Amino acid sequence: MNNTGIHHISSLVGNIHQTYHFYHHILGLKLTLKTVNQEDSSMYHLFLGDDEGRFGTEFTIFDMPNHPSHRSGSNRLERTVFLVKDFAALEFW
C-alpha cells in the first residue's frame, strides 16, 4: 500500500447540532458536504474542512443521538489536534 496521508477522520456524536456549532462557528471549519450514512439514511453525515475541502483537512461527524458520551476501550480516539497558522491563532483560547 502506498499511503500518502489521511483523507479524513470520522466521529460518532450524540448531538450533531452542538457538534456542528462547535466545529463550524467556533473553530471555523467549513461545511463541505451534508449527506446521510449510506447504511442508515436516517443518520446525518456531515463533512467539515478547509475552505476548499482539500485532501487531509476533512473531519466528518455521524449523528448518533443515543451514542454514549464515553466508552472505554482501545477502539476510540482520545483527542483530535488541529494545526494552526501561528501562535497568534491560539490567543482566542
- pLDDT digit string, tens, across residues 27-75: 889 999 999 989 989 899 999 988 887 777 888 999 988 876 666 666 6
CATH 3.10.180.10 fits domain 1-66? yes
CA distance 66 to 64: 6
Where do runs of H (alpha helix) occur along the chain? 16-20
- Burial profile 65-82: b = 16 or more Cβ within 10 angstroms, e = fewer: eeeeeeeeeeeeeeeeee
Neighbours of 39 (CB within 10 A): 6
Give the burial class of 57: count Cβ atoms within 10 A of its Cβ; 0-12 exposed, 13-18 middle, 19 or more buried.
buried
User: For residue range 5-19, what is the model confidence (pLDDT) as tens digits?
Assistant: 777 888 888 899 999
What is the pLDDT, as a whole number, of residue 93?
Answer: 62
Decide which of 81 and 93 is more confident: 81
What is the pLDDT, as a whole number, of residue 6?
Answer: 79
What is the pLDDT, as a whole number, of residue 68?
Answer: 67
